Structure 1
C-alpha cells in the first residue's frame, strides 16, 4: 500500500513538471513564430 501511495505522489509530481515544461515550450514556440512572421511581413513591406 505504501508503494502505491509513493508511486502516486511521484506520478503527480512528474505530471505537474511535464505540464509546466510543455506549456513553456508552447509559449516559446508561439513567440518564435510571431518573430518569424514579423520579420517576413517587414521584408515584404520593404520590397514594395
Structure 2
C-alpha cells in the first residue's frame, strides 16, 4: 500500500447544514451575551495563537 492508495472516508448520507446541526445557535448566543456581556462574547470569538 502506497500513500496514493489512501483516500478519505466518505459518507453515503447527505451532510446536514450547520443550521440543522446547531438549531439553537442564536438562542445560545443570546443567553451567553445576557449572562456574560457582549464584550465577553466578542473576546471569545477572536482566535489568538501564542507561542507554543
TM-score normalised by structure 2 residue count: 0.29
Higher RCO by CA contacts (8 Å cutoff, separation 6 or greater)? 2
Please state which structure has a larger fraction of its residues in helix. 1
Say which one has the larger Rg. Answer: 1
